[in-house]
Structure 1
Amino acid sequence: MPKVLSQSAPSQTPVSSPAPEPRLPSPLPAPPTTQAGVPVPDCDVIVFGGTGDLAMRKLLPALWHRDREGQLPGSARIIAVSRSEASDTDYRDQVGAVVGPAVATDDEAAFVRFAHRLHHVTLDATGEPARDPGWSALTDLLRGGDERVRVFYLATAPQLFGPVSRGLQAAGLVTPLSRVVLEKPIGWDLASARAINDEVGEVFDESQVFRIDHYLGKETVQNLLVLRFANTLLEPLWNSSWIDHVQITAAETVGTGDRSGYYDGSGALRDMVQNHLLQLLCLVAMEPPGRLDRDAVRDEKLKVLQALRPMAAGDVARCTVRGQYRAGAVDGEPVPGYSTELGTLSDTETFVALKTEVQNWRWAGVPFYLRTGKRLHKRTSEIVVQFKPVPHSVFPEQTGQMIANRLVIHLQPNESVRLLMMTKEPGPGGLRLRPAPLNLSFADTFGTRFPDAYERLLMDVVRGNPTLFMRRDEVEAAWEWAEPILHGWQGSGEPPRPYHAGTPGPAAAIALIERDGRTWHEDHEEEPSL
């Protein structure tokens, strides 16, 4: 696919030269830009960190798929901003190398149109705006487009969110139709989160700030709202009278790889628990909103965060486990330990398991178990809602076979919703009971490609719909709850518990849940679906 780019995309001069052309003509007419009757406005998407891992691995492929589906207006542009000395043609070739393998033969004409949307500006966001010619180049490229939506996507370290925002303001690029997207994590503790929010808030109104958590864009996560609030079956049972406990797991088989430097300053709690897992917990535990709008859903999520049981020093020791992977084997292949990958010894956790509670009437006494880790035995993200057993069995001879109902929502890799039920095993000779799941497999049921989470969320930003994004008070409430855990670990002086790569994590994580008479859910516990 780089060949398509180099043949079809006109050569461009580097951005340090005189002002670039404001827009390349689209070689193909753009298809209609509506979805479910919601129009997509004219827009420019400006990605700071446009040559980085996130942009190349997620953002550009997401924008390509949306363009192929006809959701980007014909005049829409995608402008990458980075320190790389690259012309427009260079950048198009880079994107072609990433997106090209996904382009079918009959999509090549559409990809030519997409390539013509791409531009690159060389700019050092850490430098002084008045001295960096990249700001002038970006201003020239955007000149005359104040009536268009401008999406400034900050795919950078959080330390740059404030400086980039100030640079945009100094360059006169912030318009009433501008939005800014902030990648997680928002800071590394409560104080830094507040400082970053203050810096960005000096330039952008809160209604213009979109704090993205890509987990909220996953189809199965959104379907959780539909399952709860569009069906009468589950919601009457969605409380402490019928639910025994909830498990939320995000497990990865990969290590930190090229992200070791970033990850060592973050760790699993900051990287996954404070944002992704707490957001999933909020969607499970929230009260039904009065309507599905930009603030009603986020109001209810905030109430859940504020109702989480605070982690005192004793709770941290008793209710949390942190670990770090050592050398082992994943999928039969030997892999090094975390410190080996990093190149130095470290006390950063690559695994977290914890127990918490939502202290309100609906959830009183129901434990929520969260766990996440790298280099585990399988890759999965799932929510497990474990119901209580029947109060009285009329099958006394089958009591040992009775298993309480369980709702399993698989977020990845195989999106599905499974409800474990007790059923009679076919055949004569009396009643023989066994559990079997009712299985809603998205692939089998809908038989179509599922858009990546970033595809949905990027188009929500363009349309100005913040429902699936985190509000400032949500972010700060999550940090307020998570920060005592970090302090407790630091104060204890205990290193993370070791676990071998390719295993389910430290033994202490198993003990965390089993001392309550419960076990972590594993897929092999379920029989084939009915």
Structure 2
Amino acid sequence: MASRVIPVDPFDLVIFGGTGDLATRKILPGLYRRFQAGQMPEGARIIGAARSELTDEAYRELVRAAVAEHVDADRQDGAELAGFLDRVSYTRIDARGGDGWDTLAAKMRPDTIHAFYFSVGPGLFGDLAERLNTHGIAGPDCRIVVEKPFGHDLASARALNETLARHFVEHQIYRIDHYLGKETVQNLMAVRFGNMLFEPLWNAQYVDHIQITVAETVGVGGRGDYYDKSGAMRDMVQNHMMQLLCLIAMEPPYTFDPDAVRDEKLKVIRALDPVDPDDIVRGQYRAMNGTPGYLEDAEAPDSPTESFIALKLHLSNWRWKGTPFYLRTGKRLRARTSEIAVTFKDPPHSIFGEQPGQRSNVLVIRLQPNEGIKLKVTIKEPGPGGMRLIEVPLDMSFAEALGEGVRDISDAYERLIMDVIRGNQTLFMRGDEVEAAWAWADPIIAAWEARGDRPEPYDPGGSGPEDALMLMHKDARRWREVRP
């Protein structure tokens, strides 16, 4: 089953920071895969822009190396790569000065979609936005793409939004969160709103609780300087996990329209209750058996920054009042996995009495690895001997269900960049969403800083701090085991 590829209109895409890590790891390889899929029209052009002195040919060699390293070998084709590189050029740009801007302006074609990817630190967003306007490069229909972090707190997020708003209107700004580009994340909406089977049960009357887990096996090595200023709360919960929570908990939008979807997500964030300190567990992985701990990886002795956090959240709205949401994320855990588990309530009365095989129904939406959806149900164990109940999964992994077609499922960055070209903001965060998320997160962070709380040490390769287990146990519930 091959996926349907919908071509986009001709475009000029400028990648500021076009020689950087994100561009070479994700953006450029992703664009090559979209070219292979037939989604990039003849009139599409990609312009790398950075401080380095490079010719067009030297930049094409950099792109060639990026594709060789980050695209599966069996997907690389010499003729296709040559065709892709024909669309690539380079312009040297001084983000804080005047060099290169007139050259870039001369390259931009009229009557073509113009998109500008800010693959740089937030400190340069304002400089780039200002120069795109003062040099007459940014027209009223152009789009800019900005990467997280969208601020460090509410004040900085507001300042960033105000900076961008001086030069662009909201419908031109695409705040990219690659989690929203994952196939299974988008399937949350398809599962909920495309199947009558689930939506009538998607509320506090039938759902016991919901778990959202994003577990990583890696530490913070290489990102220590950034990570120690953010921690798991700012790096993961306030943005990625907040977006997953919104998609799980939101009301049905009146249509699958960008602002209709984002209006409903915003209502979820604003319905979040303040979090009791007893419902927060912070952890920090320690050194063990020769494996460095967080303090060594981050090169931050005596740091109070968390590499793990678990929270119990409540929503004060009609649909979810009384149903807890448990979120956890951390570094150096047993396995790399991201999943959402919706646990339904038990039947009000069991005609089978107490049986060990009878379990609550659980809908598991797995984001990575092995993307797919699994529903756990209770059936009779085959064979004679009476009514013995067992739990079995109704399993749909994308690899099995779609066969070869799963190879055509685009990477999150590929999908999101193509959405930018189409002008579709559904999977991008709006400015008021970002500010609402910080308005909820800031008091939580300020409270533990004021108390002087320190994260609980935990062993690498496990499930996190012991207190995180107790967060569930005190409610007579258990975390789903983190498995590869």
Q: TM-score range by the shorter chain?
A: over 0.9
2:341 aligns to what? 384
Aligned runs of 1:331-480 on 2, under 5 Å?
335-345=291-301, 346-396=303-353, 398-447=354-403, 448-449=406-407, 450-480=409-439
Change in CA separation of 1:342 and 1:56 when aligned onto 2, cut-off 3 Å: same
SS at match of 2:223: helix
How far does residue 39 in structure 1 lie from its aligned partner after superposition?
Answer: 4.9
Structure 2 CA distance for aligned equivalents of residues 265 and 68 of structure 1: 40
2:267 aligns to what? 303
For CA contacts below 8 A with separation 6 or more, give which structure has more relative contact order. Answer: 2
How far does residue 430 in structure 1 lie from its aligned partner after superposition?
Answer: 1.3
Would the aligned equivalents of 2:463 and 2:482 in 1 still touch at CA under 8 Å?
no
Structure 2 CA distance for aligned equivalents of residues 524 and 70 of structure 1: 37
Structure 1 CA distance for aligned equivalents of residues 430 and 340 of structure 2: 23
Structure 2 CA distance for aligned equivalents of residues 406 and 217 of structure 1: 24
What are the superposed Cα offsets for residues 448-498 of structure 1, whole Å, 9 maximum, x if unpaired?
212111111111100001011111111111111111111012111122221
Aligned runs of 1:149-228 on 2, under 5 Å?
149-228=113-192
* Counterpart residue identity of residue 120, structure 2: T
- CA RMSD, aligned part only? 1.8
* Counterpart residue identity of residue 113, structure 1: G
How far does residue 523 in structure 1 lie from its aligned partner after superposition?
Answer: 6.0
1:276 aligns to what? 240
Structure-1-length-normalised TM-score: 0.87
* Counterpart residue identity of residue 107, structure 2: L
1:493 equivalent in alignment to 2:452: yes
Structure 2 CA distance for aligned equivalents of residues 440 and 189 of structure 1: 39
Structure 2 CA distance for aligned equivalents of residues 500 and 49 of structure 1: 37
Structure 1 CA distance for aligned equivalents of residues 263 and 80 of structure 2: 41
Would the aligned equivalents of 1:103 and 1:111 in 2 still touch at CA under 8 Å?
no
1:83 equivalent in alignment to 2:30: no
SS at match of 1:428: coil
Change in CA separation of 1:256 and 1:120 when aligned onto 2, cut-off 3 Å: farther
Change in CA separation of 1:278 and 1:110 when aligned onto 2, cut-off 3 Å: same
What are the superposed Cα offsets for residues 175-227 of structure 1, whole Å, 9 maximum, x if unpaired?
12210111112110001101100110111111101111111111111111111
* Counterpart residue identity of residue 515, structure 1: K
Would the aligned equivalents of 2:5 and 2:38 in 1 still touch at CA under 8 Å?
no
How far does residue 98 in structure 1 lie from its aligned partner after superposition?
Answer: 2.1
How far does residue 89 in structure 1 lie from its aligned partner after superposition?
Answer: 2.0
Structure 1 CA distance for aligned equivalents of residues 363 and 194 of structure 2: 16
* Counterpart residue identity of residue 280, structure 2: T
Structure 1 CA distance for aligned equivalents of residues 366 and 177 of structure 2: 18
* Counterpart residue identity of residue 84, structure 2: F
What are the superposed Cα offsets for residues 149-186 of structure 1, whole Å, 9 maximum, x if unpaired?
11111112222211211121122110122101111121
Task: Name the count of aligned residue pairs.
Answer: 476
1:137 equivalent in alignment to 2:103: yes
Structure 1 CA distance for aligned equivalents of residues 75 and 380 of structure 2: 50
1:115 equivalent in alignment to 2:81: no
How far does residue 376 in structure 1 lie from its aligned partner after superposition?
Answer: 0.8
1:505 equivalent in alignment to 2:464: yes
Would the aligned equivalents of 1:147 and 1:177 in 2 still touch at CA under 8 Å?
no
Among 13, 24, 28, the residue aligned to 1:45 = 13
Change in CA separation of 1:310 and 1:169 when aligned onto 2, cut-off 3 Å: same
SS at match of 1:221: helix
Structure 2 CA distance for aligned equivalents of residues 105 and 205 of structure 1: 39
What are the superposed Cα offsets for residues 337-360 of structure 1, whole Å, 9 maximum, x if unpaired?
122122231222211111111111
SS at match of 2:90: strand
1:27 aligns to what? none
Structure 1 CA distance for aligned equivalents of residues 382 and 5 of structure 2: 48
SS at match of 1:411: strand
Structure 1 CA distance for aligned equivalents of residues 256 and 201 of structure 2: 21
State, as a whole percentage, how many aligned pairs show the same letter: 53
Would the aligned equivalents of 1:253 and 1:378 in 2 still touch at CA under 8 Å?
yes
Structure 2 CA distance for aligned equivalents of residues 376 and 149 of structure 1: 43
Would the aligned equivalents of 1:376 and 1:505 in 2 still touch at CA under 8 Å?
yes
How far does residue 520 in structure 1 lie from its aligned partner after superposition?
Answer: 0.6
2:280 aligns to what? 320
Residue range with higher mean Cα deviation, 104-113 or 282-291: 104-113
1:262 aligns to what? 226
1:292 aligns to what? 256
Among 476, 479, 484, the residue aligned to 1:520 = 479
Would the aligned equivalents of 2:457 and 2:465 in 1 still touch at CA under 8 Å?
yes
